[in-house]
């Protein structure tokens, strides 16, 4: 019996991905920083869907967290055939507003831990007798440079590029890699990222429910899609950002987050 391992699973998109998988009778391993929220979610999923759910408390801004997660799985003989790299956050405002440690911690969560977990679990996913999946959650911000979300947007561009390349490399294996790029979603991301009122109001016009994003993500993952943008407005925005001169796209984005 194999599990889906989900990072950032205590709230938002990650929590809803866990529930979407539980609906499909997939056993889950939940990872996040909040023990109380993880424990509550495990109990809820087990009671409502009759699946097995276990949790591990970890802070992915710590360099040794991915290895600790792997060791936890190995110690408990948890076989994993789905890896969901969902954990991530943003910081808005001038680059110089934040310390070196702030930027490094965010990159550790958004980029480095994602690569570490993928590297650590890839050999285990390959050993599974049935199809295995890697689902990476990026952002619609991956499609352009976003002033005042400079490091965040760059980190999500990395996730998208990395995911597409890995999808190609693994084409002849049992592993499929999918990258989902949500736009504004009704989570606590704006609060965590310190998004200003103008940015919050702009996002509210296009906000998707996290359960809708999660449903799309899981469906496309099992459909072995390479890259997914959730919502028509976000697909249009990504297309316009690609077509427009970079300076105009960046000026437009800056006017929202400045």
pLDDT digits (tens, 9 = 90+) for 199-257: 556 556 667 899 999 999 999 999 999 999 997 677 776 676 677 777 887 787 788 88
152 included as an active-site residue: yes
Cα–Cα nearest to 214, from 201, 228, 203: 228
Question: Which residue, 130, 228, 214, 229, is CA-closest to 178?
Answer: 228
Tell me which of 3.30.2010.10, 3.40.190.80, 3.40.50.720, 1.10.10.10 is the CATH number of domain 2-257.
3.40.50.720
Mean model confidence pLDDT for the chain? 91
Residue 96 has pLDDT above 90, yes or no: yes
For the cut 70, the answer to whether the pLDDT of residue 37 exceeds it is yes
Look at strands 79-85 and 53-57 and give their pairing.
unpaired
Domains in the chain: boundaries: 2-257
Which residues, 6 or more positions from 236, have their beta carbon under 8 angstroms from its beta carbon?
A: none
Write out the two tokens for 165.
């390349």
Judge contact between 236 and 139, C-beta under 8 A.
Answer: no
> 3-class DSSP state for residue 68?
helix
Mean of the pLDDT values across residues 154-167? Answer: 98
Provide mean pLDDT across the span 9-36.
Answer: 97
Residue among 55, 133, 148, 152 flagged as catalytic: 152
pLDDT at 22 over 70: yes
What's the pLDDT at 243?
A: 72
Nearest-angstrom CA–CA distance, 147 and 128: 42
The pLDDT, as a whole number, for residue 206 is 61
pLDDT at 193 over 70: no
Q: Is the pLDDT of residue 162 over 90?
A: yes
User: What is the H or E stretch that residue 222 is in?
Assistant: helix 210-222
Do 28 and 3 meet the contact criterion of CB atoms below 8 Å apart?
A: yes
Q: What is the arithmetic mean of pLDDT over 83-109? A: 97
């Amino acid at each position: 019996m194999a599990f889906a391992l989900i990072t950032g699973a205590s709230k938002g998109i990650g929590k809803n991905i866990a529930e979407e998988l539980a609906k499909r009778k997939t056993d889950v391993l939940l990872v996040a920083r909040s023990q109380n929220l993880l424990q509550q979610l495990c109990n809820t999923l087990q009671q409502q869907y009759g699946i097995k759910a276990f949790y591990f408390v970890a802070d992915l801004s710590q360099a040794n967290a991915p290895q600790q997660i792997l060791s936890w799985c190995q110690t408990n003989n948890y076989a994993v055939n789905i890896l969901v790299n969902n954990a991530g956050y943003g910081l808005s405002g001038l680059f110089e507003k934040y310390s070196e440690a702030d930027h490094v911690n965010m990159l550790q969560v958004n980029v480095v831990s994602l690569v570490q977990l993928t590297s650590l679990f890839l050999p285990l996913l390959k050993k599974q007798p049935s199809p295995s999946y890697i689902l990476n959650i990026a952002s619609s911000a991956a499609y352009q440079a976003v002033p005042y979300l400079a490091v965040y947007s760059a980190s999500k561009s990395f996730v998208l590029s990395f995911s597409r390349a890995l999808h190609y490399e693994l084409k002849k294996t049992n592993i499929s890699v999918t990258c989902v790029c949500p736009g504004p979603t009704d989570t606590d991301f704006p609060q965590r990222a310190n998004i200003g009122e103008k940015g919050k109001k702009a996002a509210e016009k296009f906000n998707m429910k996290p359960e809708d994003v999660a449903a799309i993500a899981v469906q496309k993952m099992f459909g072995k899609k390479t890259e997914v943008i959730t919502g028509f407005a976000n697909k249009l925005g990504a297309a316009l950002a690609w077509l427009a001169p970079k300076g105009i796209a960046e000026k437009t984005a800056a006017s929202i987050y400045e």
